[in-house]
């Protein structure tokens, strides 16, 4: 048996794959949440729209993105197979509830992961698919090169090649950016309270999934040491279990509240 089939067929091999892909996805979440903070800038979406262009056109990031899609699938399939195997191994004993030996999150990783997978499918359909294959309108921004002040308007000019065109208007000293307006799509999506509620459910699942998953990955990989365990626990709980899900949750809530005042 080759080491590849051996890794995939043993429980330990499966857990190693879960841990490595899970840690990669955790790093992706840090990058994603940091970039999305641009949504809170008061620049009418210029920074966010330019960031989306960079993330989807810069070749090294595009390559990492394909790895990301593969890792999401691998992590999900591997996790579900591992959960099914554990369930079968436990047999009728699975009905005996032993609450004090494991946390609620650790016993429900497969359910939390399934909610997250459903969340990612809906999320990628609404944003990623729309952005790549849908009809996202363009917006024209004019930014003063002396004061940095930004004004914007809907773009109705000749067709644009690609996602963005940028040039400098020397006479007025302004930088003109015509870019696909993903910011407006985001704003419109989060005016829908049902979608906002779905996102909050997703972030609740993310919080519990990461609180257990982050620390568990270090344990599986043998990267735990009495000296560093408190730090791993702290990062697992405060950064991945609380900070990142709360920051993501703040985005739909922010746009929903804004939509009420519009
Ligand atoms: C709630 C706040 C969030 C907002 C506003 C948001 C927004 C976006 C947008 C606009 C895109 C498409 C543009 C791009 O590809 O760069 C995107 C892509 C994506 N998002 Fe999110 N996102 C949020 C949360 C999340 C969470 C919590 C996850 C994972 C659990 C996630 C996973 C993804 C993935 C996998 C992609 C495709 C990335 C790629 O093609 O490289 N997002 N998101």
- Report whether pLDDT(29) > 90: yes
Furthest-apart CA pair in the chain: how many Å? 79
Sketch out the chain's domains with CATH numbers: 3-136+182-261 (1.20.1300), 137-180 (no CATH)
- Report whether pLDDT(2) > 90: no
Atom of ligand 1 nearest to the CA of 206: 30
pLDDT computed for residue 221 by the predictor = 95
- Report whether pLDDT(253) > 60: yes
pLDDT computed for residue 11 by the predictor = 85
pLDDT computed for residue 102 by the predictor = 67
**Is the CB–ligand 1 distance for residue 37 below 6 Å?**
no
pLDDT computed for residue 85 by the predictor = 87
Compute, in angstroms, the gap from residue 188 CA to the centroid of ligand 1.
16
Ligand 1: which residue has its CA nearest to atom 41?
A: 65
- Report whether pLDDT(120) > 60: yes
Assigned token pair, 182: 């993903």
| Residues sharing a CB contact under 8 Å with residue 164, sequence separation 6 or more, in sequence order | 49, 50, 53, 177, 178, 179, 180
Atom of ligand 1 nearest to the CA of 119: 30
* Residue of 74, 128, 252 best suited for mutating to test ligand 1, as the one with most atoms within 8 Å of CB: 128
Strand partners, 37: none
Whether the Cβ atoms of residue 208 and residue 237 lie closer than 8 Å to each other: no
> Global pTM?
0.91
- Report whether pLDDT(75) > 90: yes
Compute, in angstroms, the gap from residue 123 CA to the centroid of ligand 1.
7
164-169 and 138-144: which strand pairing?
unpaired
């Amino acid at each position: 048996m080759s080491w590849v089939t051996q890794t995939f067929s043993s429980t330990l091999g499966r857990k190693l794959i879960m841990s490595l892909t899970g840690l990669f996805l955790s790093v992706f979440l840090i990058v994603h949440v940091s970039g999305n903070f641009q949504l809170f800038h008061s620049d009418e979406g210029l920074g966010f729209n330019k960031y989306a262009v960079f993330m989807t056109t810069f070749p090294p990031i595009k390559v990492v993105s394909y790895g990301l899609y593969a890792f999401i699938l691998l992590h999900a399939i591997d996790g579900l197979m591992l959960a099914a195997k554990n369930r079968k191994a436990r047999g009728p004993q699975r009905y005996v509830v032993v609450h004090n030996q494991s946390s609620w999150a650790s016993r429900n990783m497969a359910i939390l992961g399934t909610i997250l997978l459903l969340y990612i499918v809906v999320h990628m359909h609404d944003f990623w698919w729309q952005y790549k294959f849908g009809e996202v309108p363009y917006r024209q921004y004019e930014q003063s090169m002396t004061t940095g002040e930004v004004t914007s308007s809907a773009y109705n000019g000749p067709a644009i090649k690609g996602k963005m065109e940028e040039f400098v208007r020397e006479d007025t000293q302004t930088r003109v950016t015509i870019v696909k307006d993903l910011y407006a799509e985001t704003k419109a999506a989060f005016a829908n309270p049902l979608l906002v509620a779905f996102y909050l459910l997703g972030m609740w699942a993310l919080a519990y999934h990461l609180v257990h998953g982050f620390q568990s990955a270090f344990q599986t990989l043998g990267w735990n040491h009495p000296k560093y365990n408190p730090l791993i626990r702290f990062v697992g709980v405060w950064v991945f279990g609380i900070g990142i899900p709360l920051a993501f949750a703040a985005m739909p809530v922010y746009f929903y509240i804004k939509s009420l005042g519009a």
